[in-house]
C-alpha cells in the first residue's frame, strides 16, 4: 500500500477513534466520530464533523490508514458510517498530577 499524502485527504471522509487513559493506564473514555477533511497540511488536519463542528487532528499521516470497504458502527451512538475513506485512532494519556 502506498504512502498517504496530505493532498489526498481533502474532501474525504475520515472515521476518528479516541481512547482516553489515566496516567495509570486505566480507561477513562472512548469516543468515535466522523467527518470530512477540509484542510490537510504539515500544520494540521482539519475535519468538519458530521454535526458541523470543526476538529483538529495532528498532522501525523502515519496514524491514518485507508479504510477497508464496509459498515462501521459507532459504539457510543449506534450510528453506522458506510465506506469511509480513512480511519485514524489515537490513545491519549493524562499526565500524573503533581
Place of cell 477513562: 28
pLDDT (tens digit per residue) in 13-22: 999 999 999 9
Is the separation of the CB atoms in 80 and 14 below 8 Å? no
Q: How would you write the pLDDT of the chain (98 residues) with one tens digit per residue?
A: 468 999 999 999 999 999 999 998 999 999 999 999 999 999 999 999 999 999 999 999 999 999 999 999 998 789 999 999 999 999 989 888 76
Dig out the grid coordinates for 16 from the structure. 476518528
Instruction: Give me the residue spans of the domains in the chain.
Output: 6-92
- Give DSSP secondary structure letters for 27-79: EEEEEEEEEEEEEESSS-EEEEETTS-EEEE-S-GGGEEEPPSSEEE-TTT--
Amino acid at each position: 500500500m502506498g504512502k498517504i499524502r496530505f493532498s489526498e485527504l481533502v474532501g474525504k471522509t475520515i472515521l476518528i477513534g479516541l481512547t482516553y487513559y489515566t496516567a495509570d493506564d486505566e480507561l477513562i473514555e472512548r469516543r468515535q466520530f466522523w467527518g470530512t477533511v477540509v484542510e490537510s497540511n504539515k500544520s494540521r488536519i482539519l475535519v468538519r464533523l458530521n454535526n458541523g463542528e470543526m476538529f483538529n487532528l495532528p498532522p501525523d499521516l502515519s496514524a491514518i490508514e485507508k479504510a477497508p470497504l464496509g459498515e462501521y458502527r459507532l459504539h457510543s451512538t449506534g450510528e453506522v458510517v458506510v465506506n469511509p475513506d480513512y480511519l485514524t485512532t489515537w490513545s491519549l494519556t493524562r499526565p500524573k498530577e503533581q
